[in-house]
Structure formats: structure tokens, C-alpha cells
């Protein structure tokens, strides 16, 4: 994990994507191609949710009533989120510093970089686009336990030292991005990194990865790679566990995890970038 982890900075982009800026009324005039990409992604993922994602996500999705044929305007998302949990989105144009990211979360603003992936990168892109942020995360932000935990994470991150932030980032990764939850109906997905990826949606609930009962200290100690299907997931016994966790002393857990050190990675190291000639 480096400070350039795009999932954590919540912004774009080192690979050529440019956020579209809103006009004075906050409106973004999306080109037809971008709306068509949204439609393709929406239709593909909607067909995969049943029996795989948790009811709280589905309830949030229903409240948001996202359009299928065009990228939603952030003001429409904000009205629903604000009424539900006091959250809103924050349009971000490009890279934002970590301090800004944590500050936004602490103030219940979820950063959304306003660009969408190109058709060539429909299946995977390294940086989070508007589809990931809106479709992946915003339905869960209507859930009070998830909303509270995410705001707590922002508050803690803002006050944390860089070394502590690296640990906190793993907790975010293993919950907000790649969390699973057990429900009376069976094991379900609530992490936005899974929900916005068709491949990971299938992989996460298959018998390929390992599943462990959620334990915050274990999650804090678990290294990850952003560019592979996750080899392991932590499973909450109930979403209310996130609310409980947000009332606990997470920074003490971070310090305990730092004392204990990292677990061995369950993946090969990321390929080294070719040296510049």
C-alpha cells in the first residue's frame, strides 16, 4: 500500500482519465459514449446482484433509483443520501491529498471523481471511476451502521500518523471495499470494490478465496494488492458490527496490529515496473 493507492484517495488518475467538471449549477453534461458505458455496466451488474449482495445494499439501491441509461447527477444522489444518513458526495476533479480524503469522509462527504472508464477498460481499471463510487458505494451509505463506520474512519485517518494510516487503510480495504457479511439468507457482499466488478462479484462468493470471520486486528494486519482478485475476505456476522466497531477504540487496535506486525501475503508480489532507460 502506498499513499498513491487510488481506492483510498478516491480520485483519479495517473493513466489519462480526466474528471468532467460541473457547470455553475453543479450539472455535468456527460457525452453519449460515457452514458452508454454507464448503461452497459449497470445492466451487467444489476443482473448479478440477486442472491449475492446484502439486503441493505439492495434497499439503498432502490432508494437511490439510479438511472440505467445515463450517469446520474450528483445532486440527485445527495438528496437521497442526506435524507438517509446525512452523507453527500463531493465532486473531486483529480488527485486529492490524503488529508482532504479523510477530511471529506469525516464530514460525511464521499469523494467521487467524475469520469467513467473507457469501453476498453470495462472489466477492470486501477482507479475508481464514478461507476465504482456511485454504484459500488453509495447504496451502502444509506445504511446507518456503514455510514457511521465510514465517517469514523475519516475522523481517525485525519488524526493519524502516516504509519497508522497505512494500517487503517487495510481495515477500510477489508470492509468498505471488500467486505462480506453473513445474513439469514446466506453469505452476501457489501464491499463496493466487489460490487462494482463483475469478476470479483463471482469470485468473492466462490470457493476459490478464503473466508475468515471478521476480526479488526486481523484485518489491520492483512496485506493486499489492488490489482488482483482478492485471495481472502473477512466476513461480518452482521452489518451492525460496523456500528459497534465505530464505537470502539480503533486506534488502540491499530497500535496492537503494529506491534504484532503484518501477516504473510497470500499473493505473489506485484510485478516490478520496468526500469526507465
Q: Which positions touch Fe ion (CB under 5 A)?
A: 7, 128, 192
List the grid coordinates of 7.
Answer: 481506492
Dihedral sign of CA atoms 116, 73, 199, 40 in order: negative
Task: Kindly state the smallest distance separating residue 133's Cβ from Fe ion, in Å.
Answer: 6
User: For Fe ion, which is the closer residue by CB, 179 or 192?
Assistant: 192
In sequence order, what are the residues at sequence separation of 6 or more whose Cβ sits closer than 8 angstroms to the Cβ of residue 8? Answer: 1, 98, 101, 169, 172, 173
Burial (CB count within 10 angstroms: exposed 0-12, middle 13-18, buried 19+), residue 52: middle
Q: How many CB atoms lie within 10 A of CB 39?
A: 15
User: For Fe ion, which is the closer residue by CB, 9 or 222?
Assistant: 9
- In 3-state terms, what secondary structure has residue 271? coil
Half-sphere exposure of 262 (CA within 13 A, CB side): 14
Task: Kindly state the smallest distance separating residue 132's Cβ from Fe ion, in Å.
Answer: 6
User: For Fe ion, which is the closer residue by CB, 3 or 247?
Assistant: 3
In sequence order, what are the residues at sequence separation of 6 or more whose Cβ sits closer than 8 angstroms to the Cβ of residue 231? Answer: 209, 210, 266, 267
List the grid coordinates of 89.
Answer: 458526495
Order of strands across the sheet with 180-183? 186-189, 180-183, 232-236, 210-213
Task: Kindly state the smallest distance separating residue 255's Cβ from Fe ion, in Å.
Answer: 26
In sequence order, what are the residues at sequence separation of 6 or more whose Cβ sits closer than 8 angstroms to the Cβ of residue 214? Answer: 174, 175, 179, 234, 235, 236, 237, 241
User: For Fe ion, which is the closer residue by CB, 157 or 192?
Assistant: 192
User: For Fe ion, which is the closer residue by CB, 14 or 260?
Assistant: 14
User: For Fe ion, which is the closer residue by CB, 69 or 123?
Assistant: 123
According to the 3-state scheme, what is the secondary structure of 51-104?
CCECHHHHHHHHHHCCCCCCCCCHHHHHHHHHHHHCCEEEEECCCCCHHHHHHH
- 6, 128 Cβ separation under 8 angstroms: yes
Task: Kindly state the smallest distance separating residue 128's Cβ from Fe ion, in Å.
Answer: 5
- In 3-state terms, what secondary structure has residue 127? coil
User: For Fe ion, which is the closer residue by CB, 42 or 105?
Assistant: 105
Task: Kindly state the smallest distance separating residue 196's Cβ from Fe ion, in Å.
Answer: 8
User: For Fe ion, which is the closer residue by CB, 198 or 255?
Assistant: 198
Amino acid at each position: 500500500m502506498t499513499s498513491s493507492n487510488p481506492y483510498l484517495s478516491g480520485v483519479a488518475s495517473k493513466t489519462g482519465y480526466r474528471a468532467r467538471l460541473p457547470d455553475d449549477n453543479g450539472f455535468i453534461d456527460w457525452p453519449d459514449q460515457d452514458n452508454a458505458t454507464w448503461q452497459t455496466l449497470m445492466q451487467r451488474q444489476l443482473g448479478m446482484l440477486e442472491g449475492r449482495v446484502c439486503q441493505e445494499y439492495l434497499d439503498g439501491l432502490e432508494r437511490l433509483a439510479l438511472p440505467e441509461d445515463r450517469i446520474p447527477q450528483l445532486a440527485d444522489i445527495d438528496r437521497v443520501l442526506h435524507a438517509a444518513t446525512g452523507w453527500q458526495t463531493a465532486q473531486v476533479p483529480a488527485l486529492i491529498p490524503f488529508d482532504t480524503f479523510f477530511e471529506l469522509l469525516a464530514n460525511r462527504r464521499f469523494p467521487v471523481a467524475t469520469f467513467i472508464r473507457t469501453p476498453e477498460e470495462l472489466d477492470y481499471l486501477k482507479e475508481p471511476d464514478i461507476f465504482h463510487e456511485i454504484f459500488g458505494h453509495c447504496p451502502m451509505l444509506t445504511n446507518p451502521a456503514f455510514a457511521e463506520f465510514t465517517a469514523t474512519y475519516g475522523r481517525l485517518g485525519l488524526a493519524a500518523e502516516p504509519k497508522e494510516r497505512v494500517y487503517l487503510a487495510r481495515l477500510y480495504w477489508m470492509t468498505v471495499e471488500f467486505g462480506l457479511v453473513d445474513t439469514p439468507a446466506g453469505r452476501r457482499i457489501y464491499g463496493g470494490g466487489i460490487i462494482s466488478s463483475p469478476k470479483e462479484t463471482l469470485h468473492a462468493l466462490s470457493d476459490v478465496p478464503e473466508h475468515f470471520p471478521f476480526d479488526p486486528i486481523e484485518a489491520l494486519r492483512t496485506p493486499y494488492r489492488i490489482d488482483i482478485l482478492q485471495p481472502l475476505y473477512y466476513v461480518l456476522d452482521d452489518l451492525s458490527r460496523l456500528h459497534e466497531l465505530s464505537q470502539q477504540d480503533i486506534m488502540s487496535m491499530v497500535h496492537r496490529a503494529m506491534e504484532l506486525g503484518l501477516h504473510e501475503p497470500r499473493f505473489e508480489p506485484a510485478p516490478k515496473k520496468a526500469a526507465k532507460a
